Structure 1
Amino acid sequence: MTEDMILNLISTNVVWLLIAILGIIIIFRGVKIVPQSEQYVVERFGKLHKVLGPGINLIVPFLDVVRHKISILERQLPNASQDAITRDNVLLQVETSVFYRILYPEKTVYRIREVDGAIATTVAGIVRAEIGKMDLDEVQSNRTQLITTIKSLVENAVDDWGIEVTRAEILDVNLDQATRAAMLQQLNAERARRAQVTEAEGHKRAVELQADAELYAAEQAAKARRIEADAEAYATGVVAAAIAANGLEAAQYQVALKQVEALNTLGNSPSSNTILVPAHALEAFGNAFNMLKGRS
């Protein structure tokens, strides 16, 4: 093999090698594999050309350049703390947290330089403005509504940046020392007032129960007296009916019966060894015994 043939062979191999290298470079620069969590912003001659989504994408080598690789995952801004003054002139320190994700990378890249700092500044301004419209009690009791309002306003403010605010949170609301001491004093006074009200209500209930008990006792006593009166009236009616049916003899019989019962009771008394009976009483007892004997 001559020297010229060797040189030609080497030249041919070099050319093919260069062609192969150029092909590899073209393939490497023309084929772009985009991860699922990212989007690529492509420029052509320094101008936005297109946005590459996840997967295999083809671009024109040497003309198209991937200028920005943007993550589309949800992001969390560092917790931020800013001062705010309520409508009733109370100084608060509000700690906030914001979550967002990029929907349109071309807007985020070409319309805002530092997106995290821009969102943080926007949130701080909106928080101060909204808290300035509310009293302290409203801030404490309507935190959910306040968060919803802040999220909506932030979304409107960052809409031109191709960003979606997924969540906004108010993590803490701190008071200055003087306001905190005043609120603690007010809370203690409220607790004392509630304790006094509870004690007064308990005393009132006790009085009411006592009055109900006395009323019930009076009602029961009245019922007992009414029953006793009804019994006496019934007995009187029975006696009157017997007198009306049997005449005076029935009445004398009842009187004699009572006299004998009284004498019997007196005689059975343990402290009575001797019984003194008037003379006219003996005659009455005799008549009673004769009447009882006649009855039997």
Structure 2
Amino acid sequence: MALAQYARLGVISRSAPGLVLARPLLAAVPRSTTTSVLRSLASSARAGRFASSRREPGMVPVGRRTRELPVNTIIKFVPQQEAWVVERMGKFDRILEPGLAFLVPVLDQVKYVQSLKEVAIEIPTQSAITQDNVTLELDGVLYYRVVDPYKASYGVENAEFSVAQLAQTTMRAEIGQMTLDRTLAERNQLNINIVESINTAAHDWGIRCLRYEIRDIHPPENVVQAMHSQVSAERSKRAQILESEGARQAAINVAEGHKQATILASEAVKTERINEALGAAEAILAHARATAQGIEKVAASISDSPNGHDAVSLTVAEKYVDAFGNLAKQGTTVIVPTDVNNVGSMVAQALAVYKNIGQARETPTALPKDSRKQAILDTLVPQQDTPPARK
């Protein structure tokens, strides 16, 4: 029987790049017919006589490619980074690793082909609501790899579709726990959380998520405008703060300059006054030394000169006259004796007047004003005997 007849009977399927056992109908075919079919399949596979661009139900995706299941030609070569899941009489038997493999005719069938390479799938744009009730449009790229071909074959119907849906739901859940500001600022942490959640859920599928990358985040237009206004206000605030800090520092510098100028001026005044005081003190000392030397010379002259005492008396008389002048300026009443020729008496009276005036100044409240005047008069005018009263 020709291969075309077997194809019409549904025993085989003509697909590129070889032949596929579409249905397990060989069990209903006689043994001799089965042997001839297998020989024809082997020769057709070697010659590559059958090719078709039509996808048959037996075709499976391998990585990002879609191809048909390998045909049981007894001897098979498994490509690198692929795992073939073999079933024997409809039940899982083993997993073929890269290299040479042998299959039992009719009984063994390659049911699934799993690619062990890293696969990238695009996550379509979806809507998510943040914790502060802002609707975002997000899309991303998911990278995964099959780590357990058995679970990937029997644990889930379509691993790629399932992991894509899981990535979308996980992204919505993670976005709902974060505010808009955190979503924009902590994108890396969001990617890590999504990967961890996917790996936890996809453990039974034999799939491991390597990484997830959010490509674009599109907030609503009004939110974008509000963010732009916020950025502008923040920049204006920073500019005002910097300007005020500059003015503050300038005022501090000016005040510090005035302070230093005042301190230096006060130091100069202090130094000037100290120098003036030192000069005045030196002048007083010099004047005192000169006065002392003058007194010493006067005393020496009085002692050495025979007329020294007369000169002293003359000086005392001059001082006496000056003292009377000062008493008149102060409004003090003084009675001048009539005997002005007696200088000794005048000196004695002058000394007595000064003595009484000094005592009166020391005790101003001891005697009234009239009493003080009377005391001075008693000193200047000798007391006369009171005449006896007439009988």
Does the aligned pair in 1 maintain the 2:73–2:105 contact within 8 Å?
Answer: yes
Deviation at 1:245, TM superposition (A): 3.9
Matched, 1:45 2:45: no
Deviation at 1:231, TM superposition (A): 1.6
The one-letter code sitting in structure 2 at the alignment partner of 1:242 is A
Deviation at 1:163, TM superposition (A): 0.3
SS of equivalent to 1:224 = helix
Deviation at 1:59, TM superposition (A): 3.7
Task: Within 5 Å, give how 1:105-120 maps onto structure 2.
Answer: 105-120=149-164
In structure 1, list runs of 5 or more residues that go unmatched.
Answer: 1-17, 251-296
SS of equivalent to 1:192 = helix
Deviation at 1:77, TM superposition (A): 0.4
Q: Separation in 2 of the partners of 1:247 and 1:51?
A: 134
Deviation at 1:97, TM superposition (A): 1.1
Change (3 A) 1:242 1:114: same
SS of equivalent to 2:178 = coil
The count of aligned residue pairs is 228
Q: Which moved more, 1:111-120 or 1:55-64?
A: 55-64
Q: Separation in 2 of the partners of 1:69 and 1:221?
A: 97
Q: Deviations over 1:66-108 (max 9, x none)?
A: 2222210000002422111112111101121110000111221
Q: Separation in 1 of the partners of 2:104 and 2:286?
A: 137
Q: Which moved more, 1:198-207 or 1:42-51?
A: 198-207
SS of equivalent to 1:66 = strand
* 2:226 corresponds to: 182
Q: Separation in 1 of the partners of 2:80 and 2:279?
A: 109
Q: Separation in 1 of the partners of 2:76 and 2:211?
A: 33
TM-score (norm. length: structure 1):
0.70
Q: Deviations over 1:243-268 (max 9, x none)?
A: 34444789xxxxxxxxxxxxxxxxxx
Q: Separation in 1 of the partners of 2:276 and 2:101?
A: 117
The one-letter code sitting in structure 2 at the alignment partner of 1:53 is E
Does the aligned pair in 2 maintain the 1:29–1:62 contact within 8 Å?
Answer: no
The CA RMSD over aligned residues, in Å, is 2.4
Deviation at 1:218, TM superposition (A): 0.4
* 1:265 corresponds to: none
Task: Within 5 Å, give how 1:41-190 maps onto structure 2.
Answer: 41-190=85-234
Q: Deviations over 1:29-52 (max 9, x none)?
A: 443322221111111001110111
If each structure's helix is expressed as a fraction of its own residues, which one has the higher value? 1
Matched, 1:223 2:267: yes
Task: Within 5 Å, give how 1:138-287 maps onto structure 2.
Answer: 138-247=182-291
Q: Which structure has the greater CA radius of gyration? A: 2
Q: Deviations over 1:90-149 (max 9, x none)?
A: 110112111000011122122323222211111111111221122111212222222111
Q: Percent of pairs identical after alignment?
A: 34
TM-score (norm. length: structure 2):
0.54
In structure 2, list runs of 5 or more residues that go unmatched.
Answer: 1-35, 44-71, 295-391
The one-letter code sitting in structure 2 at the alignment partner of 1:203 is A
Q: Deviations over 1:158-188 (max 9, x none)?
A: 1111101011111221111111112212222
SS of equivalent to 2:246 = helix
Q: Separation in 1 of the partners of 2:112 and 2:168?
A: 28
SS of equivalent to 1:133 = coil
The one-letter code sitting in structure 2 at the alignment partner of 1:76 is A
The one-letter code sitting in structure 1 at the alignment partner of 2:276 is E
Q: Which moved more, 1:51-60 or 1:141-150?
A: 51-60
Q: Separation in 2 of the partners of 1:246 and 1:59?
A: 142
SS of equivalent to 1:78 = strand
